[in-house]
A and B are shown apart, each in its own frame.
Chain A
Amino acid sequence: MRTPVQFSLNGEEVAAFVEGGANLLDALRETVGDLTVKGGCWQGTCGTCTVLIDGAPRLACITLAETCAGRSIETVAGLRRGPDLHPLQTAFIEHFAAQCGYCTPGMLMAAKALLDRKPSPTREEVVEAIGGNICRCTGYEPIIEAILAASRAGDRRSA
C-alpha cells in the first residue's frame, strides 16, 4: 500500500507516495528524483547516503520514509545556490578530496552537519564527524583537510 508523505526537501515542500516500508534513500531517488543521494550498502554501514534531517545527520537507507513526514531534509542538491558552490564543495575540489567520488555526497553532508553545529571544529572533531562514512579510495586525509579548510573559509552558509 502506498502512503502519502510530505516533507521539506532543501527548503521546498515535497509530497510523495511511498511504498510500505520504503526507505528514505529509495524515496528520494526513485520517487522524488533527487539523485544526489547515493546508495552504497543499504545496511547503514557505508554512510554515502547521509542526509540531514532537521539538521542532524541520518542514513537515508535505514530511515523509514514515513517517519520523515513534516521533517526538513537536506541533501547535496541543496548545497549549491545558483552558480555558487557551497564552501565545502569548493574545498573538496581544491583539496582533491574526491577520488572516485562515491562517498562524496555523504561526506559533504556529514561535514555540513558538523560545521552548522560547530563552525570551527578541531581535527579530532572532523574525524569523529565523518567516522561513519567510508571512503574505499582511502582518501581520508584530503577529506579532513578540505573540511578544515572550509571551516577556515568562514563564509559558510546554513541552508
Chain B
Amino acid sequence: MTVAVKTFGRIGEAAAALSAERGARFFGGGTILMRMVNEADPDVATIVRSTDPALARLAVSSGRIELGAGATMAAILAERDLAFLHPVARTIGGPAIREAATIGGNLFAHSPYGDFATALLALDAIVAIAGGFGQREQPIEEFLAGRDRGGRQLVTGVSFRRPAADSFRFVKVARIRPKGVAVLSIAAQLPLASGRISGARIAYGAMDRAPVRAKAAERALEGRTLDAAGVAPAVAVAAEGAAPVDDAIASAWWRREILPVHLRRLLLGAGA
C-alpha cells in the first residue's frame, strides 16, 4: 500500500498537517508506525514527519531535564548526565531498535511495551504537545489516561525535575534479558527526608493498557523507611489499581502474582 509522506522543517508545520487529516500519523523512529505501514493498516494514509532539530534536543541540567520527543534511546544512553535513565533505555529492544526508538514514540507504545513511558510517569514528567490549538503542556498521567481517546496531537518533548541522587529505581521483568518484552516493569522515585520516604512515585508498565501509577503503594510508603518492615504495607497493596491483561507474554493472573515480589525487591534495592 502506498501512503503519502509529508516532511516539514518545523514542528509547528508538522503539527498543523497532523491535525488537518484524519489518516495522518506522525513518524517518530518508525518502530511502531512502520509496522502499521508494512501491514497496510488502513488507519495510516499519510506519514507526517519533521526534520526540526528541536525534536532531538537533550537539555540536561542539575535541576530540570528536557528531552525532545525525537531523542532516541541510543541518544539517552550516550548522555552521561542521564545515567539514571540508562537502565531503562538499555532494556528497550536491541541496539538497532534503540537507534530508532524515540521518547515520543514510547509514550504511544501499547502494553506490554512502553517501559520508558513508565519511567517518565514515575518521574512526574510534563508532556509538551503541539496541535491545531497551538502549544500546551499536560501532566504525563493525564496524557497517558487520554492517549487512546483520539486527537492527532504532536508530542514535542517531555520535561521533569532531576530526581535526587539514587532515588530513582527501575526494573523490567522479561523472559529474555535485558531486552525482551515486559512481563511487567516498575519505576519508582523514592525521595527520602530524614531517612523516611516523602512523596514516592511508583509506576507500573504492562499492568494496564498504559503505564499506571501505584497510588495505594505510594500512600502506604509515605513516612516509612526502606527496610523489610517499612515496605511491607506498600507490598501488601501492590496490585491495587492495576488491571493487567492476558497476552502472549504472560497472563494477567501471573502478572498480579509476581508484582508484589518484584516491587518488594525494588524497594529494598535487592534487584530483580
Contact = CB atoms under 8 A, between A and B. Distances in A.
Give the interface SS of chain A, mostly helix, strand, loop or mixed: mixed
Interface centre among A56, A110, A133 (most CB of B within 10 A): A56
A1 B49 CA distance: 17
A134 to B, nearest CB: 9
Interface in A97-153: 110, 113, 128-133
B97 interface: yes
Contacts of A158: none
A1 B2 CA distance: 7
Contact of B99 (A21, A56, A129): A56
Interface residues of B, number: 27
B151 interface: no
Given A62-B30, A132-B179, A19 B2 contact: yes
Contacts of B95: 57, 110, 113, 128-129, 131-132
A15 interface: no
Interface of A: 1, 3, 19-21, 23, 42-44, 47, 50, 53, 56-59, 61-64, 66-67, 110, 113, 128-133
Contacts of A21: 1-5, 37, 44, 47
Given A57-B99, A59-B100, A128-B95, 14 more contacts: A19-B2, A20-B5, A21-B2, A21-B5, A23-B37, A44-B30, A44-B34, A44-B93, A57-B95, A57-B96, A58-B96, A62-B100, A66-B7, A132-B94
B31 interface: yes
Contact of A59 (B39, B47, B97, B178): B97
29 contacts: A1-B4, A19-B2, A20-B4, A20-B5, A21-B3, A21-B5, A21-B37, A21-B44, A23-B38, A43-B35, A43-B38, A44-B31, A47-B94, A47-B96, A53-B99, A56-B74, A56-B99, A57-B96, A59-B97, A62-B30, A62-B31, A62-B34, A62-B100, A64-B34, A66-B7, A110-B96, A113-B95, A128-B95, A132-B94
Given A42-B38, A58-B96, A59-B97, A67 B4 contact: no
A48 to B, nearest CB: 11
Interface of B: 1-5, 7, 27, 30-31, 34-35, 37-39, 44, 47, 49, 74, 93-97, 99-100, 178-179
A44 B4 CA distance: 22
Nearest to A109: B96
Given A44-B34, A64-B27, A131-B179, A20 B3 contact: yes
